[in-house]
Amino acid sequence: MNAASAADTHFGFRTVPLGEKQRMVDEVFHSVARRYDLMNDLMSMGLHRVWKDLLVSRIRPPRSARPFALLDVAGGTGDVSFRTVEAGGAGTRATVADINGGMLAVGRERAAGLGLADRVEFVEANAEELPFPDRSFDATSIAFGIRNVPRMDKALAEMRRVLKPGGRCFVLEFSRVDVPVLDAIYDTYSFKLIPGMGRMVTGDAESYQYLVESIRRFPPPEAFAEMMRAAGLKRVDYTPLTGGIVALHSGVRI
């Protein structure tokens, strides 16, 4: 068997050509877009709400009318952006950048229903080539999306580029469970139950099999912290949450 080339990457546990991963990821999220938020509730037993609230508390949008701009990358359905503008004052705005039009369509519908269409903008964009000027945002975030980007290093560099000096970049992502016994339970739950749950709720088990595998392929926290440093971010740190099921990473543009 030939070794993977530099032009290869991972799609779950499979090795695929780098240029093919984005198309394959797009197909996953087109398939699950309409039930994505419901599946997040079911898969995490509601914990994703707690994790996202913690992320927003770290973003710290001002409660005043002072202008504050968040860019949420791969945030298609708008969850983090809605929470941020609701936590902030009249000057807080958010931009959702996502490559998947199906996810963005769901996000726009949700924004209209929540009365937030004037405070949250939705832009179809590739995380590796963000269509925004340098130094445009006070904070950038990506929640459970960085592992789906073919070239994570490029996405991190872009998230840093569009930050204003002193702005913070946040990455909320699944991590490595570090609690004995919990790790075995988590593995069983992930591989045995989540794909079946996906089949029942969305009619698509394969997409959720990929999502579970992609979590296991994601670098451990310190290795990912090094990637953030290599992208030019400073004061990089991370906080394990819920026994290491997820980690909240952050860095600053100096």
Q: What is the dihedral of CA 127, 90, 105, 17, to 10 degrees?
A: 10
| Exposure class string for 29-67: b at 16+ Cβ within 10 A, else e | bebbbebbbebbebbbeeebeebbeebbeebebeeeeee
The verdict on whether residue 239 carries a ligand-binding annotation is no
The verdict on whether residue 126 carries a ligand-binding annotation is yes
CA–CA–CA angle 194, 176, 225 (5° rounding): 130
The sign of the dihedral angle between the CA atoms of 33, 102, 204, 194 is negative
The verdict on whether residue 98 carries a ligand-binding annotation is yes
H or E segment to which residue 166 belongs: strand 163-174
The verdict on whether residue 138 carries a ligand-binding annotation is no
Q: Summarize the annotated binding site for S-adenosyl-L-methionine as residue ranges.
A: 77, 98, 126-127
Q: Summarize the annotated binding site as residue ranges.
A: 77, 98, 126-127
